[in-house]
Amino acid sequence: MLYWAAVFFVIAIVAAVFGFGDIAAGAGSIAKILFFIFLILFLVSLVAGMFKGRAPRV
């Protein structure tokens, strides 16, 4: 998912350089949404991994 966010970010930059403002804005919005989804999923998996842990040895 982070890969796709980076791809849309690059598309937004290239579109902005060539003067396609609407396409750049759309690609930038998609990149931002994908990045925040990735960030939320990363934090959820980090917290879940902390609580999972290992069973204590007896």
pLDDT of residue 56: 60
Give Cβ neighbours of residue 12 (< 8 Å, ≥ 6 apart). Answer: 23, 24, 25, 27, 28, 31
* Under 8 Å between Cβ of 38 and 1: yes
**What is the full per-residue pLDDT of the chain (58 aa) written as tens digits?**
778 888 888 988 898 888 888 888 888 898 889 999 999 999 998 888 888 876 666 6
